[in-house]
Structure 1
Amino acid sequence: MAGVDASHRIVADLLRARTGQHLSEARMWRVPSALAGLFRARGISNVDQLVCLLAAPDARDLATEVVEALLNNETYFFRDTAFFDRLAETVLPDIFQRRKATRRIAIWSAGCSTGQEALSLAMLFADDPDRWRDWTIEIVGTDISHKAISVAQSGLYSQFEIQRGMDIHRMLRHFDEVATGWQAKPELRALTRFRQASLFSAPPATHGFDLVLCRNVMLYFDAPKRAEGFARLAQGMALDGWLMLGSGETVLGQTPLFETSDEGPALYRRAAAPVSRECARATKVG
């Protein structure tokens, strides 16, 4: 990180140690703006002063606040509409055919932020009740941010958040207006559960997920961490499962565990041969 002062390096190292995220020199500019609220709350004005506070023996809670502030929790309902159209038109029908015998489907939203992605998935099922009648549907969201997971578990969103990406008909069908905003209806929340977890910890289920969404997450890691993250995703997936990444992400040149599909960009399938070795290595890393 040549050209970056020691205080910024300390903050970047803290983020990396807690989350695995690599804060490159090109992204260091966002540190003061991301921490502006924390600066005000602590009565300080710059990163140098913050690092002095972090050096105190009782600074563990402050370190957690710093990491939470630096995490990018940007999300909204049905983010990248074309992606959700592809899920509804291609991926979910494929899983329906493959799982007709068990009538069970499991989905993992890895890096789920404040829950809009998982709830958007839940709405796809709720809007097609005839197809999914009598199915067991499990949508699990994980994120390293405690604050984000708290919001996701509440299912409560502001007027601004509820209008981002969702039309008014869906909003009224699936959310109730309450004193503090809009809350997902109980039947929608029943399809989802959320927990705080790192991408590099064990997958959040003992059985394989049929679909994993890990969108706009891998771009925050360096190459070794991305490889480890892909190994964790593969470890949690069914052999015939689907993986969806963000529009600016790919498995090509990143991991041998996944291969491109014929269903358009951002969708990948498990590669058959090398999974067991890589997953075993990821388990040892964890």
Structure 2
Amino acid sequence: MEVSAVSHRIIADLLEARTGQQLTESRKWRIGTALSGVFRQRGITNIDQLVCLLADPASGDLAQQVVEALLNNETYFFRDRIMFELLSRRVLPELAEKRAGTKRLSIWSAGCSTGQEALSLAMLFADQPSQWKDWTIDIVGTDISQNAINTAQRSTYTQFEIQRGLSVSQMLAHFTETKKGWEPSRQLRNMVRFKVRNILEPAAALQRFDIVLCRNVLLYFDEARRAKALECIANSMRPDSWLMLGAGETAIGSTTIFRAAENNQGLYVMSDEAAHEIYAGRTARQSAAR
């Protein structure tokens, strides 16, 4: 579908204003395909007509529909499985020692899409019952897309979705086939919760996470927003927590808050200076609030 330069710019500006994500020239080809459902529902025939309708104050929730359609919600269970193996082999054993006194772990799946990443994390714990007995595991999945979060909260997956990334043994161990689709066990559901959140906005709650997964999210931001997102993430972490980015992403060059974990591609920890500054700032704010 041909998209005029002006219409492309208007659609791109709408997406960036609502989410911070950029719709670059290299992603321009997605517009027609991504918006095909909106076109059918609204009886729209082309992008220029859509742009005219967006300018009408009576267009209602059309702008939000367009934004939701343009967001990339591609995900599947244990996506880039080697990264989950790294968590299981390196990160979780270390945190098990550090948090042995409280037996609590909080994990944030930022940009969780329809929930498969958060449930994959829950399976890491469910598959090691003796290791995590009596632990409280809290996995929070967030996404800017309300549609994606609605799907994640339902946690009902099609045969195609359940087979993407899961072995037959994992399917049978952790999911039950129902008339609606494949649903996760109560054990997994009890570890996971989902909510809408823009990663560029500071967290309203004071929850501090031990691990943050923010994979394939930063690549849609410009340099300034990438730095802001990493700052918001750091402010939601404990000083000795871990950050995992996607295979094609890096925190190096965007911020001095994080440094790469040695010999572990994709894993980052806070620099000593940043950890001290963030901790000092929290202490000061807590004292002022008393």
TM-score (norm: length of structure 2): 0.92
Task: Please say if residues 140 and 194 of structure 2, whose CA atoms lie closer than 8 Å, have aligned partners that are also in contact.
Answer: yes
Where do residues 127-276 of structure 1 align in structure 2 (5 Å cutoff)? 127-203=127-203, 205-274=205-274, 276=277
Residues in 2 aligned to 1:267 and 1:168: alpha-carbon distance in whole angstroms: 29
Q: In the TM superposition, what is the alpha-carbon distance from 1:60 to its structure 2 partner?
A: 3.7
Residues in 2 aligned to 1:228 and 1:234: alpha-carbon distance in whole angstroms: 10
**Residue 72 of structure 1: SS of its match in structure 2?**
coil
CA shift digits 1:193-217 (9 cap, x unpaired):
0001100122364132100000000
Structure 1 gap ranges (5+): 281-286
Task: Single out whichever of 196-205 and 230-239 deviates more from structure 2.
Answer: 196-205
CA shift digits 1:57-101 (9 cap, x unpaired):
122400010000000000000000111111111111111011001
Is residue 62 from structure 1 mapped to residue 58 from structure 2 by the alignment? no
Q: Counterpart in 2 of 1:284?
A: none
CA shift digits 1:183-237 (9 cap, x unpaired):
1112211100000110012236413210000000000000000000000000001
Q: Counterpart in 1 of 2:284?
A: none
Is residue 47 from structure 1 mapped to residue 39 from structure 2 by the alignment? no
Computed over aligned residues only, the root mean square deviation of the Cα atoms, in angstroms, reads: 1.9
Task: Please say if residues 140 and 204 of structure 1, whose CA atoms lie closer than 8 Å, have aligned partners that are also in contact.
Answer: no
**Residue 273 of structure 1: SS of its match in structure 2?**
helix
Aligned length: 279
Residues in 1 aligned to 2:32 and 2:87: alpha-carbon distance in whole angstroms: 38
**Letter matched to residue 189 of structure 1:** R
Residues in 2 aligned to 1:225 and 1:60: alpha-carbon distance in whole angstroms: 28
**Residue 207 of structure 1: SS of its match in structure 2?**
coil
**Residue 96 of structure 1: SS of its match in structure 2?**
helix
**Residue 119 of structure 2: SS of its match in structure 1?**
helix
Q: In the TM superposition, what is the alpha-carbon distance from 1:10 to its structure 2 partner?
A: 0.6
Residues in 1 aligned to 2:83 and 2:16: alpha-carbon distance in whole angstroms: 30
Q: Counterpart in 2 of 1:90?
A: 90
Percent identical residues: 54
**Residue 212 of structure 2: SS of its match in structure 1?**
strand
Query: Which segments of structure 1 move beyond 4 Å, counting only runs of 4 or more?
Result: none
**Letter matched to residue 70 of structure 1:** L
**Residue 272 of structure 2: SS of its match in structure 1?**
coil
